[in-house]
Structure 1
Amino acid sequence: MPNWVEVGVRTLTAVVILYAMTKILGKRQVTQLSLFEYITGITIGNITASISLDLDSSWYLGLISITVWVCVSLGIAFLQMKSKTMRDFIDGKATVLIKDGKVMEDNLKKERLTSDELMQQLRKKRVFRVADVEFAIMEPNGEINVLLTRENQPLTPRHLGIKVGPEQEPQSVIMDGQILDEPLATLGLNRQWLNTELEKLGVALENVYLGQVDSYGQLFVDLYDDQIKVPVPQEKAALFATLKKCEGDLMLFGLTTKSKKAKDMYEQCSKQMEQIIDELTPVLHR
């Protein structure tokens, strides 16, 4: 067999083997790596390259070596899942870098991290003042996580005592101009509903690059032609305006009627409508 053919066959075989072993090791191998996972990835990559190009060595020896590395990695991963002590020994512990707005210089030196590198990592978290940080910690994988002081944390509906409706994952119902029936069925919708919504937007199906439906049944589309602006669905805004109008009408009827019984009834209905609007506002304003 010519050398170039043998190299090609070995390379294809190595790719298949490497992909299979990576699938066995799991998704952590392609995300943030621990120290051992980093070493494992480099070593398996080098062994795979050697299998592809070293024609003087037997390819099955490289396969044995990769198998041993994968088995050791799986064994260590099993120990990490079962033992906190093993996790701390293999991955290391998290290190506090900032506490109560003060930099822990000794911990910076321990992690060989300069003040410039610390500030760079803080800026990635949109933090520009150390005094705004309540707590910053370096995780075992090298990532720095930051907790801002309470007064610098973003305002949320919970801070205002507002209950917000749950948000479910939007479903993609159109891709590349083709309707996806399974996501539509998941939402309890059909093609007829989708075609009706497209007609409301004045959009043809074949011109839609991506179409998504949120948990409230609103369709949002992205067209192939980026110059065309698609109107944003206004159903929730229209419903909110209708409810406010009903509340206003009830108040007006209560003010204009001369019957005390009718006045009391309209005022009671107006208060009930106001309560309904308050409960629905977080949903209608999403």
Structure 2
Amino acid sequence: MTVNETILRVTIAFLVLFLLARLMGRKEIGQMTFFNWTTAIGIGSIAGNLAVNESTLIKDGVIALIIWTLFTIMLDMIDLKSKQGRRVTTGDPLIVIKAGRIMEGALKESRVDLDELQALLRQKDIFSLKNVDYAILETNGELSILKKESEQPVTKRDLNISRPKKVLFPLPTEVISDGKVNTENLSKLKIDRNWLDRELQKENIQSIEDVFFAQVQQDGTLYIDTKNK
């Protein structure tokens, strides 16, 4: 295989894989279930063969990637529309701790031993099983925890603390990043550049380029982090 052919194959494999990954959506990355894992392995293997295996025709490799992707999308549609189909493709969450007691049958079914369970709990900052009321092993391998009521954090409602009334924006929003103004976010917030300049001048900042990061808070104030601190 010549260098030019290798470059061509790798370029085609990369572009096709990138486009098909975009087509399949973020679920393949964000929620790695058994089905997603199988899909990722298959597509990666096909793309690898297309890139470096000269016995694989470029046309055949591209067709194989497209067909695999179509199968993935079809099963995703079944997954979205049918609960029974979802059980086949992704399985069901398993309750591994119920009312503070370890469910040995669920651990065996999921092939998770006690050491692995404790490791998953520690990743959630739980070091004692007695603090757990319920624990559910999700289909993507994550462990969802419901602590016992006595271990749950106190909320503002518990303390009868009302939310501050002055909330001008739903979320903190970035307006400067690495010395550059995010004009799109300013427009969304309906804030002009003059307001931003005035806020910077209040902090004795004369140039946008001196700002590493700035974020408009929910109450309308500006958080500023300068360069060369």
**Partner amino acid for 2:178?**
D
Count of residue pairs the alignment pairs up: 225
Output the CA distance in 2 between the equivalents of 1:11 and 1:59.
10
Q: Deviations over 1:59-93 (max 9, x none)?
A: 11111111111111111111111110110121111
1:179 aligned residue: 181
Deviation at 1:191, TM superposition (A): 2.0
1:224 aligned residue: 227
Q: Unpaired segments of 5 or more residues in structure 1? A: 227-286
TM-score under structure 2 length normalisation? 0.92
Output the CA distance in 2 between the equivalents of 1:125 and 1:201.
39
**Partner amino acid for 1:183?**
N
Are 1:78 and 2:77 matched, yes or no? yes
Q: Which moved more, 1:15-24 or 1:108-117?
A: 108-117
Output the CA distance in 1 between the equivalents of 2:140 and 2:76.
15
Output the CA distance in 2 between the equivalents of 1:64 and 1:183.
41
Output the CA distance in 1 between the equivalents of 2:227 and 2:90.
47
Output the CA distance in 2 between the equivalents of 1:170 and 1:96.
36
Q: Which residues of 2 match residues 1-286 of structure 1 at below 5 A?
A: 3-165=2-164, 168-204=170-206, 205-226=208-229
Output the CA distance in 1 between the equivalents of 2:31 and 2:113.
21
Output the CA distance in 1 between the equivalents of 2:182 and 2:30.
30
Output the CA distance in 2 between the equivalents of 1:21 and 1:189.
38
- Percent identity reads 31
Give 3-state SS (helix, strand or coil) of 1:39's partner.
helix
Give 3-state SS (helix, strand or coil) of 1:8's partner.
helix
**Partner amino acid for 2:197?**
N
Q: Deviations over 1:9-43 (max 9, x none)?
A: 11101100000111111101112212122111111
Give 3-state SS (helix, strand or coil) of 1:136's partner.
strand
Deviation at 1:182, TM superposition (A): 3.0
1:237 aligned residue: none
More RCO (CA 8 Å, sep 6+) = 2
Output the CA distance in 1 between the equivalents of 2:185 and 2:106.
50
Give 3-state SS (helix, strand or coil) of 2:31's partner.
coil
Deviation at 1:94, TM superposition (A): 0.8
Output the CA distance in 2 between the equivalents of 1:126 and 1:57.
49
**Partner amino acid for 1:190?**
D
Q: Which moved more, 1:101-110 or 1:90-99?
A: 101-110
Output the CA distance in 1 between the equivalents of 2:163 and 2:175.
25
Give 3-state SS (helix, strand or coil) of 1:157's partner.
coil
Q: Unpaired segments of 5 or more residues in structure 2? A: none
**Partner amino acid for 2:212?**
Y
Deviation at 1:184, TM superposition (A): 2.3
